[in-house]
Amino acid sequence: MPITQSAKAGLAFALLAFVLLPVLAGGQWVKIFISTGCFILAASGVAFMYARLGMVSLGQVALMGVGGWVMLRMNHAFELPFEINLAVAGAVTLMFGWLLAMPALKMRGLYLALITLMAAGGLEVIFSTFRFPNGGEGFWGVMPSVAAPFRRPFLVSDDTDYLRYIIAAIVAGFLIIELHMRSAPGRAWAMIRRSEAAAYASGVNVVYYKAWAFGLAGFLAGVSGGLLAGGLGLLDPATFRASESIMLFALMIVGGSRGWLGVVIAAALYRVVPALFNDWSIDADISLIIFGAALLHAITTAPNGLSGQLTDLFTKEVKRT
Amino acid sequence: MIRIDNLTVRFGGVTALDAISADFSQPISGIIGPNGAGKTTTMNAVSGFLDYQGTISWNDEPVDALNPFKRTRWGLRRSFQREQIADDLTVLDNLQAIADNLPGSRSERRANVEQAIESLPISHLVNRKAESLNAYEKRLTDLGRCIIGNPKIVMLDEPCGGLQQEETDRLGELIQKIPLLTRATTLIIDHDVDLISRICAETLVLDFGRRIAFGETSQVLADPKVKAAYLGVEEVAQ
C-alpha cells in the first residue's frame, strides 16, 4: 500500500508531537492538549463522513458523551483494565450510533443532519439530568461530593505519559479510517457521495454502507469520549451540549475535512484558542467571534478549509525553490 | 435477449410508460424518442429504481424481484446521462468499486477489473483521479464500469452526450465491441440518430410513454409515425 505525502507529513507531525509536546507543555497545558487530542479523534469521525459520504452529522460531541459515560460507569463498577473499558465504550457508542442512524439512513442532507442534532439535544437533556458517574451507588452512579479515583492505563499514570497515549490513539484512529478509505467501504462511500443511483448501479448496498460509516464515526466518538474521561477523571455535562457538536462540525469545515491536518486545526481552534485567551486574560467567548469569521472565510474562499490553503501554499513554495 | 412485457410506470396521475412491450433479440439495440418520451424511465424501471407493473427478463431470467443493487450483482450495468463516477477516486478505484460488490473470489474480482482495463484504451488512465479526466475519458471510464464482470444487460443512457463528433465515433466503435467482450444484451438511448442507426440493429421508438414503433432500425427510422413524432407534427391521416 503506497504511503502518500500527506500521510508521511502526518506521521512525522505525530512523532514530533509524541516526543516534544509532553516535554514542552507544562502544568494545565498538558491537560488542554489531552482534551484537544480527544477532540481531534472525534472530529476525524465527522470529517470522513462529510468528505467521503457527504453526510452531515451534528451529534458527534454528544456521542463522545455516551462513550465517556460508559467509560466512567465501567471504571467505577468493575476492576477491569483501562483498555477493556475503552473498548466497551467504543463498542457501546458504535451501537448507539447505529440506533440513531436507523431512522436517518434512508434520508439525505438536511434531514439527516437534523436527526443527528435532535439526538444530540436529547442526550444533552439526559446528561444534564443524570450527570456522569463518579463512583456513587446505583445505575447512574452519581454521588454529590468528591469523585472516586479513575484508573489510568498500565504504566501511563501521569499526565505527560497519558498525552503520549492519546497521540498514539489518534494515529491508530487515523490509520483505521485510512484503511477503510482504501478498501471496499471507502469506494462504496465515494459512490454513495456521487449519487445513490451511482451507488446502486455499482451494486452498493447503500443502507448497509451508510450504517457502517455511522458505526465507525460512533466508535471514534466513543473512544475519544472514553479517553477524555481518562484524561480528566470526571466529566461535566456542559462539555457535551448539542451546541458543542455543531461547533465541532463548523470548525471541521474551517479546518478542512480531507486529511489529518484539517481535523488537527479544527480541534486546536476548538480547545487551544479559548485556552490561550484564558491565559492572556481575554474573555474566551471572543473566540466565538473568531470562529464565525473563520467559518465565513472558509466557506467563501477555501473549499478545502485552512488545511487545503496551507497545503496549496506549501506546494507553491516548494515548486518555487 | 431482453424481454420487456407490458411495462407500465405511473407517477401519480401521469402515465410515464403505457404498457410497453419489446423483445430485444439483437446484441445491441436502441431506444429513441423525443424528450419526455419515457426512454430514461424505461431504463430506470429496468434498473429497479422505480415501481412498475409488467415484467422484465433476460434470457428468461426475470429480474423483477431484485432490488437495484442486487440487479447490479446479478449482472445489470448501466451508465447515466451525466457520467456517475466518483471524482475523488482514481479510475482504477472507480472500476474496483463495482467489482467489490460482484460475486466471486478476490482474485476473480481483480481479474474482472484487469480485463475491463485491457479491453478499453484506459490503461494509461488507471492511476489518475477522476476529477482530472476530460469528458471523453470520463465516458470511457463509465463504459469500463459497464463491462466489468461479464454482465448480462448493459444499458447506456446517452453514452456520447457532450462529446465531439470524432470522440463519438471512437466511443461508438468501442460500444460495438461489447457483445464480443461480454455475453450482454446492450441497450442504448441517444438523440444522435446517426449513432443509433450505425450501431443498433433493432430500435424501439417511444413517444409520450407509448411504443410507436419497434423493429429493424432502418425500417423503424423510415416509419412515417416515427418521423412525425420527431418532427413534432400530427400524424398525417391516411
- At residue B235, the pLDDT reads 52
CA distances in angstroms from A257 to A14, A46, A261, B8, B230, listed in the order given? 18, 8, 9, 44, 49
Which residue shows C-alpha cell 455499482? Answer: A202
User: What value does the mean pLDDT take over residues B130-140?
Assistant: 93
pLDDT tier, B202 (very low <50, low <70, confident <90, very high otherwise): very high
- The ranges assigned to domains in chain B are 2-81+152-231
Residues 6+ apart with CB under 8 A from B102: A203, B73, B109, B112, B148, B149
**A207 shares contact with chain B (CB less than 8 Å):** no
Helical segments of B163-235, H only: 165-176, 178-181, 193-199, 217-222, 224-231
Q: Which residues of B touch A206 (CB under 8 A)?
A: 69
Encode pLDDT of A100-145 as tens digits: 777 777 776 788 888 889 999 999 999 999 888 887 777 887 877 7
Give the pLDDT confidence score for residue A79 in this predicted structure.
86
Answer whether A288's CB lies under 8 Å from A295's CB.
no
Whether the CB-CB separation of B76 and B46 falls below 8 Å is answered with yes
Backbone angles phi, psi at B156, to 5 degrees: -115, 120
- The whole-angstrom distance between residue A77's C-alpha and the CA centroid of its chain comes to 26
pLDDT at B71 over 50: yes
Provide residues of B within 8 Å CB-CB of chain A: 47-49, 68-70, 72-73, 77-80, 84-89, 93-94, 96-98, 100-102, 145
Task: Locate the chain A residue with the closest alpha carbon to B153.
Answer: A201
Q: Report chain B's mean pLDDT, rounded to a whole number.
A: 91
Contact A307, A255 (CB under 8 A): yes
Mutate which of A202, A204, A304 to test chain B, going by most B C-beta atoms within 10 A? A202
Contacts of B78 in chain A (CB under 8 A): 201
Q: Do A198 and B77 touch (CB under 8 A)?
A: no
What ipTM score was computed for the predicted complex, to two decimals? 0.91
**A146 CB neighbour count, 10 Å cutoff:** 9
And the C-alpha cell for A299? 466557506
Per-chain mean pLDDT for chain A:
89
Looking at residue B238, its pLDDT comes to: 47
Q: How many C-beta atoms lie closer than 10 Å to residue A14's C-beta?
A: 18
Least reliable range by pLDDT among A112-126, A145-159, A189-203, B45-59? A145-159
Q: In the sheet where B153-157 sits, what is the strand order?
A: B76-78, B153-157, B185-189, B28-32, B202-207, B210-216
Mean pLDDT within B180-203: 91
Q: What is the mean pLDDT of residues B137-164?
A: 93
A231 touches A220 (CB < 8 A)? no
Q: Over the range A76-114, which residues count as b (16 or more CB within 10 Å of their CB) and which as e?
A: beeeeebeebbbbbbbbbbebbeebbeebbeebeeebbe
Residue pointed to by grid coordinates 472514553? A226
* Dihedral sign (CA A242, A245, A249, A255): positive
Q: Identify which of B49, B96, B145 has the shortest CB distance to residue A197.
A: B49
Which cell numbers in the block locate residue A321?
525553490
Class of domain B2-81+152-231: alpha beta
Q: Which residues of B99-130 are buried (b: 16+ CB within 10 A; e: fewer)?
A: bbbbeeeeeebeebbebbbebbebeebbeeeb
What is the per-residue burial (b if ≥16 Cβ within 10 Å, else e) of A35-53?
bbbbbbbbbbbbbbbbbbb
Using an 8 Å CB-CB cutoff, list chain A residues near B92.
none
Helix, coil or strand: residue B43 = helix
Q: What is the dihedral of CA A157, A158, A161, A167, to 10 degrees?
A: 90
Most A CBs within 10 A among B101, B131, B146, hence the mutation to make, goes to B101
DSSP structural state of residue B101: T
B148 touches B142 (CB < 8 A)? no
**Minimum-distance CB partner of B101 among A190, A195, A204:** A204
User: Which residues from chain B sit within 8 angstroms of residue A201, using beta carbons?
Assistant: 47, 68, 72, 77-80, 84, 145
What number is the average pLDDT over the span A167-180?
95
Rg of chain A, C-alpha, whole Å? 19
pLDDT band at B234 (very low <50, low <70, confident <90, very high): low
Candidate from A184, A188, A203 with C-beta closest to B73: A203
Entry pTM: 0.90
Give the residue from A205, A199, A2, A223 showing the smallest Cα distance to A93.
A223
Higher pLDDT: A98 or A143? It is A98
What was the pLDDT predicted at B68?
A: 94
